Structure 1
Amino acid sequence: MKITIIAIGKLKEQYLKDAIAEYSKRLQKFATLEIIEVPDEKTDINASKADVEKAKDKEGAKMLSYIKDDAYVFALEIKGKIFSSEELSEQIGKRMLEGNSHLVFLIGGSLGLSSKVLARADLKISFSNMTFPHMLMRVILLEQVYRSYKILNNEPYHK
């Protein structure tokens, strides 16, 4: 199984890099992991709605360029479906049973994801009704994917 995380923005904080490295190492037992950082489009704090959409479209086009046609795509979207850890594990397990060998997770930047990116997603998921920093979501996502594999393999970790 290959897992790709495509995220807007370059991670700068060392503590987040350390956490990502730890979960990446743990995931090696279950899947090949690739993390792709897409540069964010700079927008003025007072940018018009049209300028924001234009920036999201540029970011989205870059994200979409990394997605292969046969990949199953999860978009992290605040309006997406909320899953428990067990339910996310079931979703990943279901994709494996269906023969999907490449799962892609998309994390937008501070502007969110473009409509074209959301249209490409096979499943839109939300981790909460709360808003989290998009850089922190990488760690949260990796931990939950790792937890999913532990659940699927009936291994201790999930409590």
Structure 2
Amino acid sequence: MNIDVIAVGRIKEKYIQEGIKEYKKRLSSYCKLNIIEVSDEKVPDDSSDAQRERIRQVEGERIRARIKKGSYVIATDINGEELSSEQLARKLNDIIISGKSDLSIIIGGSLGLWDQLIESADMRLSFSKFTFPHQLFRLILLEQLYRCFKIIHAEPYHK
């Protein structure tokens, strides 16, 4: 399976970069993982709702341009479905069994994802009602993908 994590912005924090590198290495046994970064827009402190929506749209169009045709798309969204690790593993396994070879998981910037991307996604997924920095969320996502593959393959996961 090919998994594209398409995210707004670059990871600047060294400790997050190291964690992402570690989980990319672990995931290489299970899938071909690509992390695709699209540039983010500056958000003025005094931005209006219209300006903020325009920023989400510009970032969203950048994300949409990187989604492979025919890919199963999961939009990360605080209002999406909350699943346990086991439920997410079953969902991932169902996607694999269905014959989809490409999965795109999209992560918005500091303002979240553009509504049109969320609405067009095959699935909306929430990791929590908590708000996470989008850089840290990328690491959390990779850890959960790794956990899912361990569950799918009935392999132990050391805590």
TM-score range, shorter chain: over 0.9
1:81 alignment counterpart: 81
Asked if 1:50 is matched to 2:64, the reply is no
Any gaps of 5 or more consecutive residues in structure 2? none
Question: How far is 1:68 from its partner?
Answer: 1.7
Asked if 1:148 is matched to 2:145, the reply is no
Note if contact 1:82-1:126 (Cα within 8 Å) is conserved in structure 2.
yes
1:92 alignment counterpart: 92
Three-state SS of the structure 1 residue aligned to 2:53 is helix
Note if contact 1:151-1:158 (Cα within 8 Å) is conserved in structure 2.
no
Cα distance in 1 for residues equivalent to 2:158 and 2:83: 15
Counterpart of 1:13 in structure 2: which amino acid?
A: E
Counterpart of 1:3 in structure 2: which amino acid?
A: I
Counterpart of 1:12 in structure 2: which amino acid?
A: K
Note if contact 1:82-1:127 (Cα within 8 Å) is conserved in structure 2.
yes
Counterpart of 1:74 in structure 2: which amino acid?
A: I
Counterpart of 1:148 in structure 2: which amino acid?
A: C
**Matched length:** 159
Cα distance in 2 for residues equivalent to 1:133 and 1:43: 15
Note if contact 1:147-1:158 (Cα within 8 Å) is conserved in structure 2.
no
Cα distance in 2 for residues equivalent to 1:115 and 1:126: 15
1:107 alignment counterpart: 107
Counterpart of 1:60 in structure 2: which amino acid?
A: G
Any gaps of 5 or more consecutive residues in structure 1? none
TM normalised by structure 2 equals 0.98
Note if contact 1:8-1:40 (Cα within 8 Å) is conserved in structure 2.
yes
Note if contact 1:150-1:158 (Cα within 8 Å) is conserved in structure 2.
no
TM normalised by structure 1 equals 0.98
Asked if 1:120 is matched to 2:120, the reply is yes
Deviations along 1:9-48, whole A, 9 cap, x unmatched?
A: 1110000000000000000000000001111111201100
Counterpart of 2:28 in structure 1: which amino acid?
A: Q
Question: How far is 1:120 from its partner?
Answer: 2.2
Cα distance in 1 for residues equivalent to 2:88 and 2:158: 13
Three-state SS of the structure 2 residue aligned to 1:74 is strand
Counterpart of 1:68 in structure 2: which amino acid?
A: K
CA 102–158 in structure 1, closer or farther in 2 if over 3 Å, else same: farther
Question: How far is 1:116 from its partner?
Answer: 1.6
Cα distance in 1 for residues equivalent to 2:23 and 2:43: 32
Cα distance in 1 for residues equivalent to 2:43 and 2:25: 35
Question: How far is 1:158 from its partner?
Answer: 6.5
Cα distance in 2 for residues equivalent to 1:61 and 1:116: 9
